[in-house]
Chains A and B, each alone.
Chain A
Amino acid sequence: MIDRNPWLTFVSHAVLILGVAIVAFPLYLALVASTHTADAIVQSPMPLLPGAHLWENYQAALFGSGKLGSNTTVVRMLWVSFVMAMVITVGKIAISLLSAFAIVYFRFPFKMLCFWAIFLTLMLPVEVRILPTYKVVADLGLLNTYGGLTLPLIASATATFLFRQFFLTVPDELVEAARIDGAGPMRFFVDVLVPLSRTSIAALFVIQFIYGWNQYLWPLLMTTSEDMYPVVIGIKRMLAGGEAAVDWNIVMATAIIAMLPPTLVVMLMQKWFVKGLVDTEK
């Protein structure tokens, strides 16, 4: 702070409080809706303060089948979301660490070709090639499997570039020291490089976990079996019956449950999350 203008400080707080209020409003109302009976919510206007039906709504959301118009419970869907997010996160980080190591620390034929091939995948999301990707996954017999859910989403290179950028800043003396100690490349990778990359790994973990957890279009296409639905698909399916037939209290309880894991991950790991975002893109 340069000047201590109390009026400006007051305005700053006012603007930020307004901003937070607008950003938080939909979340607050979802929370309120998840504590009322379905009948209370269809009153116009719906109550703006929490009601007394929190437990039964969340219980119905988590374990009540039939509410979804399917036989699958939200607990099962949460599990699918979790496995999907974890496989995408761990898979992407693992293959990216290895390939970035190869690109930065070795000289080999076609290295630049490999580099550009990986580079090309950087900004082309799965959305633009959904049909042919669907066909490939179908031909490989991966529809309705975790492999089909995750592999096409692992196939992009943001993580490789983050690690490459980071490896380039690692001092060369470390390699020389490792060499003098008689360590081979893999030894160097495991004992020096990976531990040094902790912060980048943590940052990527947050970003990729959220990316994986929140995937919608791809699972929508390739899962036809209800017990392979991730939870975000489940929520969308609850709206399928048309507005009148929707149990909004259960929908909102489910939405809150589905938002909880990624929100917690972001809040608890905020420091790494911000670092990861700002570093990946610049």
Chain B
Amino acid sequence: MKKKYLDIVLTMEEQKRIFEEKKKYEYPQAAVIEALKIAQEKRKWISKDVIYAISEILSIPSVYVQEVATFYSQIFLEPVGRNVIRYCDSVVCYVVGYKKILSILEKYLKIKPGQTTIDNKFTLLPICCLGCCDRAPSMMVNEDTYFNLSDKKIVSILESYL
């Protein structure tokens, strides 16, 4: 009965990948962050069902999965847009003018940080220094990092995700 629940929530492929992750560690709990990331890849966010399914596959209490899921900024506990934009608001980007970049993003997307566009295409979030201060200001869209941002560049970057 229990097994069935897991199978309904996570695909065989996802389960296989989580099993592979488990092998890297002495204790299965260590795979929980990666499991959450795997499950989030297609779904874009982590629902209660996924939390229970991961707790089942790793044989750990669901509250352990929940407390991890609520802690890390890359795990989303509510739906986000198809593309997640993370602009760097750290000190060097501040000095070279991330605020201008942010205002262009806000104007173009018509949302504030933390929000998702009505058409569900973009979510806007801040991020900690992306380690490219020599090419600041910078931002990430999904897994792609963009450097030396300028007004013009931003619009064409966003359009490439439409």
Partners in one complex: no
* A-binding residues in B (CB < 8 A): none
